[in-house]
Amino acid sequence: MNCQEPETDFAGFFGAQPEVETSAPGRVNLLGEHTDYNDGFVLPIAIPQRTQVELARSPDKWNRFRSTNLDVLIHYQAGGDFPSGFAAYVAGCFEVLREEMPDIMAPVNLLVRSNVPMGAGLSSSAALEVAVLRGLRKLFQLAVDDVDIALLAQQAEVRFAGVRCGIMDQMASSLADEQHMLFLDTRTLERRLLPFPEQSELVVLDSGVPRRLSSSAYNQRRAECEAAARELNVQTLRDINDVALAETLPEPLNRRARHVVSENRRVLDAVSGASAAEFGVLMNASHASLRDDYEVSIPELDCLVELLQHHPDIYGARLTGAGFGGACVALARTGQSGKVGDEVLAAYHAKGYHGSVLVSGPI
């Protein structure tokens, strides 16, 4: 029996079949946090959760954006009042393409559904942008490749959603898969797909605390990094290899720069053939740096990370994504991720918090 309400699918809602269907995954970042807007190195992997988009040409001058998850329908006309919420990302993607190809782009009816958790640091916004851009590419047969899609998605987010994000999330959603780590140099966009550390598998746990104050604090960290680079007379903090140089800066720029310089080093160490145990040590050091130097952790994330780090079947753990709430990522011994997730969450709940398992299992 089909239990779906007829009006929840595209045809039920818009009265015609979709012309194209696309999707894009969320991502979890294993190492290299807050390095991408400093031209540094990152190491994300795609997660099984995806955002799906169906679309067709609109019969009139209106774009209609429907979110099944939020149960809303937004009408948007190019050049008219700009929408907010999820539709800002969709309209932003539409606008960045329309600027480049005004003669090709025409209004669309679009339906989105997603199982990428929102506000957990797993790039639900990048998954939405990449899925929408893939859909528009297919519908209008646009000559844009996967890197173009990532760059357009980033533009949509920076210009229309107001977050001065780096390129990691969009590149991960557009180019990563679930079987490999994507090692990306965010300055050159050179990249390699690398095998996951042997004898290990992924655990991603949600702290249950949605990200708070994320865009203002995020933009502030970014501004601090730019100030640190100016003081050190370099283009970006990527150009600093020696942590000692960071120590010459005033508070808090010294600690912000120390995080970025040491985090870039950790990514490079991780991709130089690190074993699972060595990788875990790097993840633990990354969390300490994000907590103490970059100050983007919160007590709930520290608690969850600590419980993970003390579990005998865990190699290492850290917060993942921008911080200020959201999820933790950990590397578990092969075959143990399910058990670890259950045990750690039981201990976390005993402290009065409410988390959940987001990803667990072999790569």
Binding positions for ligand GLA, rule: CB under 6 A: 33-34, 36-37, 165-166, 168-169, 321-322
Q: Is 346 exposed, middle or buried (0-12, 13-18, 19+ CB in 10 A)?
A: exposed
Is 342 known to be catalytic? no
Count the neighbouring beta carbons within 10 Å of the beta carbon of residue 297: 21
User: 258 near 293, Cβ under 8 Å?
Assistant: yes
State in angstroms the smallest separation of the CB of 60 from ligand GLA: 35
> Based on the number of CB atoms within 10 Å of its own CB, is 147 exposed (0-12), middle (13-18) or buried (19 or more)?
middle
Helix (DSSP H) and strand (DSSP E) numbers for the chain: 11, 12
CB 256 within 8 A of CB 225: yes
Query: C-beta of 322: minimal distance to ligand GLA in Å?
Result: 4
Tokens standing for residue 176 = 């990563």
For the CB of residue 33, give the shortest distance to ligand GLA in the complex, in Å: 4
Q: How far is the CB of 137 from ligand GLA (least distance, A)?
A: 22
30 versus 168: smaller Cβ distance to ligand GLA: 168
What is the token pair recorded at 245?
Answer: 């140089």
Q: Please identify, using beta-carbon distances, which residue of 54 and 263 lies nearer to ligand GLA.
A: 263
- Active-site residue, from 39, 169, 206, 313: 169
- Nearer Cβ to ligand GLA (28/332): 28
Residue with tokens 């290899």: 241
- Residue number with CB closer to ligand GLA (37 or 65): 37
Q: How far apart are CA 121 and CA 206, in angstroms?
A: 9
Query: Would you name the residues annotated as active-site residues?
Result: 169
